[in-house]
């Protein structure tokens, strides 16, 4: 009897969860499907789901018009570069906060987070002028630095919460054995922190990938990433749903695929390491 009940409940749970999951995923699915339709089918009433003539013409049109590979490469470099650089800067800071906490540690941490609340557009002109002065407009380097600074508070905070979970006794034992600070970090802390670092890396890679204000406003031809690629397909003249869908799919596919393959790290990354 009890088994039957659980079995029944399991079926109900499964149906409900899948239903809601598909509902949440639907906009993405619909975008992907639309990208294989012709422009006319894309707006057909009633809408067609699967029974249409699948076509790749939107993808070839997009590929012909824009240098997708370059946008993609810029996105990878900018998102990857800023995340890695951020982690290099953040690891020591997070380490000291986690293992040598002082009265002000929490204040510093919260202050760092609060810097994220400044409205970016308010400082567009100052930053733009600085970039001109330094001659780094439309360069990937400038964006790597700016996005690194933007995400640094999140990175520090995530690493801090991960590091705090590492028991201090292990470090103490190592210190007794005469390990130097450098060895301590390199050989003991880092291996233990790798899962946390991986999660941090992934999450911030996604945040940097999706950043659309600075990447759009500080680039022209050379350093423009996928956010700029999208801006050339939104609201042109005439019908555009299918081509927009193709471009959108191309812009989000790398991240979706990455997410699929690193689900576990990502899930723990998405919790910002804050919840065990």
Partner 1 sequence: MATKHSRSAARLMMAPAVILLLGWMLVPLIMTLMFSFKKYLPLRGGDLGWVGFENYVRFVSSSAFWPSVGATLTIVGGVLLITIFFGVLLAILLNQPMWGQGVVRILVIAPFFVMPTVSALVWKNMFMDPVNGLFAHLWRFFGAEPISWLSQASLPSIVMIVSWQWLPFATLILLTAIQSLDGEQLEAAEMDGAPPLKRFGYITLPHLSRAITIVLLIQTIFLLAIFAEIFVTTGGAFGTRTLTYLIFQRVLESQNVGLGSAGGVYAIILANIVAIFLMRIVGKNLDA
Partner 2 sequence: MSFKKALCAATAMTLVTASGALAENLVIATVNNGDMIRMQGLTQDFTDKTGHTVEWVTLEENVLRQRVTTDIAAKGGSFDIMTIGMYETPIWGANGWLVPLDDLSAEYNADDILPAMRAGLSHDGTMYAAPFYGESSMIMYRTDLMEKAGLEMPDAPTWQFIREAAAAMTDRDNDINGICLRGKAGWGEGGAFITVTANSFGARWFDEDWNAQFDQPEWADALNFFVGMMEESGPTGYATNGFNENLNLFQQGKCGMWIDATVAASFVTNPDDSTVADKVGFALAPNSEGVDRKANWLWAWALAVPAGTQKEDAAKQFIEWATSTDYIELVAENEGWANVPPGARTSLYENPNYQAVPFAQKTLDSILAADPTNPTVKPVPYVGVQFVAIPEFAGIATEVSQEFSAVYAGQQTVDEALAKAQALTNDAMEAAGYR
Residues 52-71 that bind partner 1 (CB under 8 A): none
DSSP class of residue 189 equals I
Q: Does 197 bind partner 1 (CB under 8 A)?
A: no
- We find the least distance from the C-beta atom of residue 50 to partner 2, in angstroms, to be 24
Q: Give the footprint of partner 1 on residues 77-116 (CB under 8 A).
A: 89-90, 92-93, 95-97, 99-102, 106, 108, 110, 112-116
Per rule CB under 8 A, count of chain residues that contact partner 1: 92
| Helix (H), strand (E) counts: the chain | 14, 0
> Please, which residue, 199 or 219, has the CB nearer to partner 2?
219
Select from partner 2, partner 1, none the partner in contact with residue 79, using the beta carbon and a kind-dependent cut-off of 5 to 8 Å.
none
Query: Can you say whether residue 172 is alpha, beta or left, with left for phi > 0 and alpha for psi between -120 and 50 degrees?
Result: alpha
Q: Give the footprint of partner 2 on residues 51-70 (CB under 8 A).
A: 64-66
Q: Does 125 bind partner 2 (CB under 8 A)?
A: yes
Of 27-35, 90-98, 153-161, 234-242, the window that binds partner 2 (rule: CB under 8 A) is 234-242
Q: Does 232 bind partner 2 (CB under 8 A)?
A: yes
Burial of 158 (C-beta count, 10 Å sphere; 0-12/13-18/19+): buried
φ, ψ dihedrals at 8, nearest 5°:
-65, -45
User: Which two tokens mark 113?
Assistant: 């987070």
Q: Give the footprint of partner 2 on residues 166-205 (CB under 8 A).
A: none
Of 107-115, 160-168, 185-193, 220-228, the window that binds partner 2 (rule: CB under 8 A) is 220-228
Select from partner 1, partner 2, none the partner in contact with residue 54, using the beta carbon and a kind-dependent cut-off of 5 to 8 Å.
none
228: three-class secondary structure by DSSP: helix
- We find the least distance from the C-beta atom of residue 206 to partner 2, in angstroms, to be 22
DSSP class of residue 188 equals I
Query: Do residues 200 and 155 touch, judged by C-beta distance below 8 A?
Result: yes
Q: Does 220 bind partner 2 (CB under 8 A)?
A: yes
The percent helix, strand, coil of the chain (3-state, each to 5) is 75, 0, 25
49-73: buried (b, 16+ CB within 10 Å) or exposed (e) per residue? eeebeeeeebbeebeeebebeebbe
Of the residues 32, 99, 138, 258, which one makes contact with partner 2 according to CB under 8 A: 138
Cα–Cα distance between 193 and 31 in angstroms, integer? Answer: 38
Q: Give the footprint of partner 1 on residues 30-49 (CB under 8 A).
A: 30-31, 34, 43, 45-47
Residue with the two structure tokens 């880092």: 190
Q: Does 137 bind partner 2 (CB under 8 A)?
A: yes
Q: Does 17 bind partner 1 (CB under 8 A)?
A: yes
> Which residues would be at the binding site for partner 2 (CB under 8 A)?
43, 64-66, 124-125, 128-129, 131-132, 137-138, 216-217, 220-222, 224, 228, 231-240
């Amino acid at each position: 009897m009890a088994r039957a009940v659980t079995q029944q409940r399991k079926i109900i749970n499964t149906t409900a969860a899948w239903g809601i999951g598909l509902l949440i995923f639907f906009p993405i699915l619909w975008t992907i499907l639309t990208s294989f339709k012709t422009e006319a089918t894309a707006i057909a009433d009633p809408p067609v789901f699967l029974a249409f003539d699948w076509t790749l013409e939107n993808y070839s049109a997009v590929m012909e018009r824009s240098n997708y590979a370059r946008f993609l490469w810029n996105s990878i470099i900018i998102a990857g570069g800023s995340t890695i650089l951020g982690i290099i800067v953040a690891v020591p800071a997070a380490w000291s906060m986690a293992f040598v906490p002082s009265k002000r540690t929490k204040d510093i941490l919260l202050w760092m987070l609060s810097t994220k609340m400044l409205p970016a557009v308010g400082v567009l002109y100052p930053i733009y002028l600085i970039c001109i002065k330094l001659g780094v407009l439309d360069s990937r380097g400038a964006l790597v630095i700016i996005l690194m600074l933007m995400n640094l508070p999140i990175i520090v905070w995530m690493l801090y919460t991960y590091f705090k979970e590492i028991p201090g006794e292990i470090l103490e034992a190592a210190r007794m054995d005469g390990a130097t600070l450098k060895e301590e970090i390199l050989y003991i802390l880092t291996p233990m922190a790798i899962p946390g670092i991986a999660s941090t890396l992934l999450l911030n890679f996604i945040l940097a990938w999706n950043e659309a204000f600075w990447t759009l406003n500080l680039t022209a031809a050379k350093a423009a990433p996928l956010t700029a690629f999208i801006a050339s397909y939104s609201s042109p003249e005439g019908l555009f749903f299918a081509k927009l869908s193709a471009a959108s799919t191309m812009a989000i596919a790398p991240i979706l695929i990455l997410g699929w393959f690193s689900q576990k790290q990502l899930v723990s990354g998405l919790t910002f390491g804050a919840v065990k």
